[in-house]
Structure 1
C-alpha cells in the first residue's frame, strides 16, 4: 500500500504535505520530533511550516495513523510503526529503540478478555543502550 492509500485508509485526506510527512514517518524508524521532520522536509517543500507539521502529526495521531511518544517530559516524538511494541530510550545518547513485545504475556489481551476496552498501550524502558555501554567500557 502506498502512502496515499495508507492515509485514505485512516480517513485522512491526502495532500502534498501530509503524504511527505507520513512517508517520512514510515521510512525513518528514528522516532522523529516535529523539528526533525520539519528540517528534513523543508528543503523539498519550501511552503512547509512547523505549524503544518505539528497539525498534520496531531491529525495522524487522532486518526490512529501514527503514535505520539512522550517517553520523557522534554521531548515528544512520533512513530509510524503501529504494531504492538515497546520503546527503550538510552539515557546516554537519547536514541529511542523499538523493542518487540512477547505475545505470550500480552496484558492487553488479558484485560480485553476481562471486559476492559483498551484504547492505548505504552511500554517505555529507560537505561543505557548496548552502543553506549560499549563506549563506556572502552574508556575504562
Structure 2
C-alpha cells in the first residue's frame, strides 16, 4: 500500500493531508493490529521524530469523527483504532488482549441504518472470549 492511498482516504473524508496525518493513516491502513495511540506513536517516532503523543491522539480522534478510521472503545481503559472502515465486528481475547476482525459472522444489526425510528450512524459489535491461539496454549499447558 502506498502513501497515495492514505492521501486519497484523507481527502475522501474531508481531511486536509499533512505529513503527520499521512503517516498515521498509512500506518493504520498497513497494520491490522488495532493499535492504541501509544502503539502508533511509538511505531512512527523513528520516522517522524517531531511527532507528539498528543498529535497522534488528536489525529486518530479526527479520523474517527470523519469516518476515515474506526475508534474501538473496548473499555474505559483501552481505546484502539482500526483503519478498516468496512462493516465488521471485533473479537477481543481476554487472555492476550488481541483484537481480531470478524467479517464472516457479523450480526444483521451491524448493517442496520435505522432502528425503531432512530437513525443509526455507528454500530460497534464486540465478541469477547478466548482466542484460538490462547486456547491452544491452555490445552498444551493442561496436557504437559
* Alignment partner, residue 13 of structure 1: 16
Post-superposition Cα deviations, 1:49-104, rounded to whole Å, max 9, x if no partner, equal: 0011011111111111011111122101001111111111100000000011547x
Do 2:95 and 2:130's aligned partners in 1 also have CA atoms closer than 8 Å?
yes
* Alignment partner, residue 67 of structure 1: 70
- Corresponding residue to 1:122 among 106, 121, 124: 124
Where structure 1 has 5 or more consecutive residues not aligned to the other structure, the ranges are none
**How many residue pairs were aligned?**
139
* Alignment partner, residue 134 of structure 2: 132
Where structure 2 has 5 or more consecutive residues not aligned to the other structure, the ranges are none
- Corresponding residue to 1:31 among 9, 34, 51: 34
TM-score by length of 2: 0.89
* Alignment partner, residue 100 of structure 1: 103
TM-score by length of 1: 0.91
